[in-house]
A and B are shown apart, each in its own frame.
Chain A
Amino acid sequence: MKIISYIQGFLVREKLLVLLLAIFIAFIVFDHSLVERIPSYVNLDAIIVITSLLVISRCLHVSGLTNRIAAKILGRTGGSPRSTLFYILLITYLLAPLIMNDGAIFVVVPLVMVIAELSGHEEALLVTLVAVSANMASIILPIGNPQDIVIWTHYGIPFTEYILASLPLYLVSLGLLAVYIMFLSKKLILKEIPVLPRVRLDEKLAVASLVSLIAIIITAQLKAPWIGLVITIILVLLSRPHILVEIDYPLIAVFILMFIDFSEIPHLLRIQSLISMLSPLQIYGLSLVLSQGISNVPATIALIRHTIYWKALFAGVNIGGVGLLPGSMANIIALRLSRTSVRDYHRYALPFFLVMSMVGFILVLVGLYS
């Protein structure tokens, strides 16, 4: 009985995994030859990098380092509502590329919920700004979010080339967010800036995590990400072994199934050659729209094997993540952590998304992302 109850609990908790598994089984039943295509569909390098980063983002948070950074930055706000918003943006922009967009959401959203309550800021506004910032900030490093890890490893893009390519979109998004915040902060009145208490810092774990992070980037660049994973596991075993038990392993299975399911869809629809004929602008538009329906990681997987225009795909899926709620898993986590309604999220996110989409369109048109 206990096993049945555990399985029931697991199925309820892992709805996405169950859904992807059901799609996988349906595909296998429909076409047995899928089994032969699986090795070519699953980007093992990306899976290994994502796994390593899942471990490291946990370690960085558990070590207390992210809390120290947030406490330090928020201690400098000086009481102005506008600067509070800017500093929250800064915290998110610093953390997201290092601990991935989802990780930054976990750290910053609880913080802004408290700030909203104490200060009279509208929580939905702050939560939405954090979600948008985490998505846009995470693009600067190829390890900042799953879709960029997939793009980075699939095309074998050199680290510096990736950063140079992502920089314009990153800077434009930062500038636009700053303007958006200036516009929104006019109506805000801040009553109190909380002093953030410090959480115990585990220096050994913090250093081990940062060393692992560098190792993951270098080894992924050398096309040997498993070495980064081994280094990560050894360092974590030496500092806090229990973290390895607490990793969200079903999420790794989710990514593997995403690779299989969403790579198979173009095959089933026989549209691979159609996708390969699309121009950069069309890839940008398609990935942007597709992200709104199926989220940006599946959109990346569905298109990546059939286009050479990685920059257009990169721009489309990353801007796509800040549109409708399903655009990115980070948005869903942000809303689930807070009281923000879907309507309120869209009220603040969609104006930014529309402007950002237009900017992305221009950047692709002028050749920066083509």
Chain B
Amino acid sequence: MPIRIRAPGREPRRIRPEDAVKAINLVKESLKLFTAGPPLIHRGPAGEVHVDIPLIYDGYAFDRIHYDPYENSFSPKGRPVHAIGVKVDRDQVWELAKQYVKELVVIEAVEYRDPEDVWVVPLAWRCYIVAHVKVSYDGEELVPDYPLTEEISGRLM
């Protein structure tokens, strides 16, 4: 989805801490409903492999989590792993990812992205921040990552 740019001349939204708390609570309540989608395995020209795990709820994807094939673990956000000489078993990765998603916890602090008019709630796995979930400005609705949603549905056909 193209980033929604605030209309020219529109005043920046007046944000309220209570809405931020609502956004955090919404993600906390929703977290048990999130699961790992099918691994997105990209193979590079030199034989390197890069694996991302989509975080999904109700057929919508919310973020991609980097997977480290060397360590068989999630990798922190901002650190995609391009592994060479490692065999990646899609089903095995998916099973592990499903287990790891159950271990995700919500970090109780948010960012606000004015152009998109959303709160961004970080999710941590063990000591890493691995994903973000976007919530509408009023803390009432989850906002999916639409291009990723389309990517995973396309790959399943």
Contacts and interface: CB of A to CB of B under 8 A. Distances in A.
Contacts of B156: 106, 333, 336-337
A68 to B, nearest CB: 10
Given A242-B1, A246-B154, A196 B33 contact: yes
Interface in B15-68: 26, 29-30, 32-33, 35, 38, 42-45, 56-60
B38 A2 contact: no
Interface in A324-347: 329, 333, 336-337, 339
A8 interface: yes
Interface size class of A (residues with CB under 8 A): 35 or more
A198 B35 contact: no
Main secondary structure of the interface of B (DSSP, over half): mixed
Nearest to A2: B45
Contacts of A114: 32-33, 35, 57
Interface in A69-126: 70, 102, 106-107, 109-111, 113-114, 118
B2 A61 contact: no
Nearest to A17: B157
B35 A110 contact: yes
B142 A197 contact: yes
Interface centre among B2, B60, B95, by most chain A C-beta atoms within 10 angstroms, is B60
A8 B43 contact: yes
Contacts of B157: 102, 248, 251, 329, 333
Main secondary structure of the interface of A (DSSP, over half): helix
Contacts of A333: 156-157
Contacts of B38: 336-337
Contacts of A118: 32
B141 A199 contact: yes
Nearest to B140: A198
A56 B95 CA distance: 32
Contacts of B153: 58, 106, 248
A95 B44 CA distance: 39
A195 interface: yes
B29 A197 contact: yes
A195 B58 contact: no
Given A110-B59, A196-B33, A62 B26 contact: no
Given A106-B59, A107-B59, A199 B43 contact: no
B33 A197 contact: yes
Contact of B43 (A5, A106, A242): A5
Given A58-B150, A62-B149, A195 B142 contact: no
A200 B58 contact: no
Contacts of A336: 38, 156
Interface of A: 1-2, 4-5, 8-9, 13, 58, 61-62, 64, 66-67, 70, 102, 106-107, 109-111, 113-114, 118, 194-201, 240, 242-243, 246, 248, 251, 329, 333, 336-337, 339
Given A110-B59, A197-B141, A248-B153, 5 more contacts: A67-B58, A110-B57, A196-B58, A197-B29, A199-B60
16 contacts: A2-B45, A5-B44, A9-B42, A9-B43, A13-B155, A109-B59, A114-B32, A194-B32, A195-B29, A196-B58, A197-B57, A199-B58, A199-B143, A200-B136, A248-B153, A337-B156
